[in-house]
Amino acid sequence: MASAPTQSLPANGGDGLYSYTRNSTFQKRGVEIAKALIKESIAEKFDANRFISPLAASTKLCIADLGCSVGPNTFIAVQNIIESLELKFSSAEAIEFQVFFNDFTSNDFNTLFRSLPCDRHYFATGVPGGFHDRLFPKASIHIIHCSYAVHWMSKVPKEVMDKDSPAWNKGRIDYAYGPPEVHEAYAAQFVKDVERFLGARAQELACGGLMALLVPCLSSGTTAQQCSIIAMAGVLGSCLVDMATEGLLSENDVDSFNLPRYYASQQELESVIERNGSFSIERIELLDRAKTDGGTMRVRAPSMIASSFRSILEGLIKEHFGAEIVDGLFSRFEKKMEESSVLSDPRYKSPSELFILLKRKVA
């Protein structure tokens, strides 16, 4: 089977057992923790008068959530942004908000639309398309939000699937435990993708507009090998290898399957942003889960981890291997996770979540 274009593979839609809706509490907590940061950011850094004036014709503010999936997380994030903006205006001014919910064309927009909050104070719209390309007219958005999405790359780098390349990633589905060339190819693809992302947003965000990113990245001072999620993906990869050994799927299919996501360091992210040059970094800091959650990822049960991985990866796996392997794969994965040291060994660190607030520089 051909390598999966991520273009067509968002998280699971609907609201079933393995839906993103029911398996994104980790992301939801992150969005919750980021709420206060976004509230402060809008209060301190968003110059509403630049876009709205009682005399001017313009009375609307446009907000976009990129990689929104199907809710409820996107609704929580958007509601927080709207409330933060409403604080900036006296009730006399009739400001209107338009919210653009974006995700891949194959995202389950039907479910998203049906679950829109009834009491929302905004006009809702859906925007289909990958965020590495342009999605909106020039300077038409005032606030962009994007959480748990920028680490997804537009594709797996070609070299990694090329038998004749030193970056060939045979028998693995992630980049951290292979030859250094695999990691390098991933890092280069990530940089290229973030450059495209920033280039598109620089055109779409009005000058003075804000962009709040929540990006999973490596904990400070840790390597990709120590990243618990990458280690877990290693376990998932080993299940695929086992299944190939048992003849349940082809070795070739395992060799050509790779996860198109990358956990950058804070340093890597900052340097792409600076090189792009269109945005000032107004704030950058790690979400402090320990303070509010008391331990995070490490305490999660193998069954929850399996469901969470499945809600995000099922589409990719189905497209590459076929639907029939999915149940078996994830039940193996859950079992192996129970036996694995990833959850108990303190050398493994959860990814950090980096909150980055950017402002579109005035041209």
* Binding stretches for a copy of itself (CB under 8 A): 57, 59-60, 96-98, 100, 105-106, 108-110, 113-114, 116, 123-129, 134-140
* Buried/exposed 316-340: b ≥16 CB within 10 Å, e otherwise: bbebbbeeebbeebbebbbebbeeb
Question: Length of the chain, please?
Answer: 363
Name the residue nearer to a copy of itself (CB basis): 71 or 216: 71
Residues 323, 144: Cα–Cα separation, whole Å: 35
Compute CA 185 distance to the chain's CA centroid, rounded to the nearest angstrom. Answer: 20
Residues 299, 324: Cα–Cα separation, whole Å: 31
Secondary structure E strands in 16-95? 60-66
Amino acid at 267: Q
Compute CA 212 distance to the chain's CA centroid, rounded to the nearest angstrom. Answer: 12
Name the residue nearer to a copy of itself (CB basis): 136 or 175: 136
Name the residue nearer to a copy of itself (CB basis): 140 or 271: 140
Name the residue nearer to a copy of itself (CB basis): 134 or 196: 134
Cβ–Cβ under 8 Å, residues 122 and 82: yes
Residues contacting residue 339 through CB under 8 Å, at least 6 positions apart: none
CA distances from 225 to 262, 263, 342, 357 (A): 12, 11, 11, 28
R_g of the chain, CA atoms, integer Å: 21
Residue 122: which of 152, 158, 155, 98 has the closest Cα?
98
Name the residue nearer to a copy of itself (CB basis): 140 or 280: 140
Name the residue nearer to a copy of itself (CB basis): 138 or 347: 138
Name the residue nearer to a copy of itself (CB basis): 3 or 7: 7
Q: How many CB atoms lie within 10 A of CB 237?
A: 21
> C-beta of 125: minimal distance to a copy of itself in Å?
4
Name the residue nearer to a copy of itself (CB basis): 111 or 280: 111
Name the residue nearer to a copy of itself (CB basis): 81 or 357: 81
Cβ–Cβ under 8 Å, residues 175 and 151: no
Residues 340, 92: Cα–Cα separation, whole Å: 59
> C-beta of 109: minimal distance to a copy of itself in Å?
5
> C-beta of 218: minimal distance to a copy of itself in Å?
35
Cβ–Cβ under 8 Å, residues 322 and 1: yes
> C-beta of 213: minimal distance to a copy of itself in Å?
22
Cβ–Cβ under 8 Å, residues 358 and 273: yes
